[in-house]
């Protein structure tokens, strides 16, 4: 017989596994946000590295783009910039729709809509000492790795 607590643990564990999955963005546009959005964010994560926003999908559906806005409160922290990452599953904005110029904004695409290829951010860094690595879906930082789950 499965207890209610065991079942709750399984449900919460499964939900956390979908929270962030290593799947780096294909392109990015630094210094611009979409002028309009085709939908609301599916997931909003605060106080995370731009590199986490660009390297990990954060939605249970197919993530198409993510908008990162820097929070300067964390500028002196290892792995900066930190900020808010809003992840979307609707049609990604085209370059012509990227009309909100803002040096604190960075948009990551899981298609070729960005102005630059790749993630643009470099590696995810340890918040403790700045060493490159990645973060498993359970939040564990894995030093020197780029193949987290």
Residue 146, domain member (yes or no): no
* Number of separate domains in the chain: 1
pTM of the model: 0.85
Per-residue pLDDT in tens (0 to 9) along the chain, 149 residues: 444 333 323 332 333 334 688 899 999 999 999 999 999 999 999 999 999 999 999 999 999 999 999 999 999 999 999 999 999 999 999 999 999 999 999 999 999 999 999 999 999 999 999 999 988 878 889 999 888 87
Query: What CA–CA distance (Å, rounded) separates 13 from 137?
Result: 10
pLDDT at 24: 94
108 within some domain: yes
SS3 state of residue 35 = coil
- How is residue 93 annotated by DSSP? P
The answer to whether residue 112 is domain-embedded is yes
pLDDT score, position 19: 63
25 located within any domain: yes
Q: Is 69 a domain residue?
A: yes
> What pLDDT, on a 0 to 100 scale, did the predictor assign at position 146?
83
Q: Sign of dihedral through CA atoms 48, 93, 33, 28?
A: positive
In a domain, 140, yes or no: no
d(CA 73, CA 52): 17
Q: Note down the domain range covering 35.
A: 21-122
SS3 assignment, position 30: strand
**So what's the pLDDT on residue 140?**
86
């Amino acid at each position: 017989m499965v207890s209610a607590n065991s079942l709750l643990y399984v449900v919460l564990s499964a939900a956390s596994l979908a929270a962030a999955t290593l799947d780096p963005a294909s392109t990015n546009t630094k210094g611009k946000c979409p002028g309009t959005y085709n939908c609301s964010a599916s997931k909003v994560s605060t106080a995370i590295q731009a590199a986490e926003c660009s390297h990990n999908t954060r939605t249970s559906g197919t993530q198409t783009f993510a908008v990162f806005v820097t929070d300067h409160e964390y500028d002196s922290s290892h792995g900066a910039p930190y900020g808010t990452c809003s992840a979307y599953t609707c049609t990604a904005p085209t370059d012509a729709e990227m009309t909100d110029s803002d040096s604190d904004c960075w948009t990551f695409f899981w298609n070729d809509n960005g102005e630059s290829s790749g993630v643009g951010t470099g590696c995810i860094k340890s918040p403790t000492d700045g060493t490159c690595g990645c973060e498993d879906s359970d939040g564990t930082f894995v030093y020197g790795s780029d193949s987290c789950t």
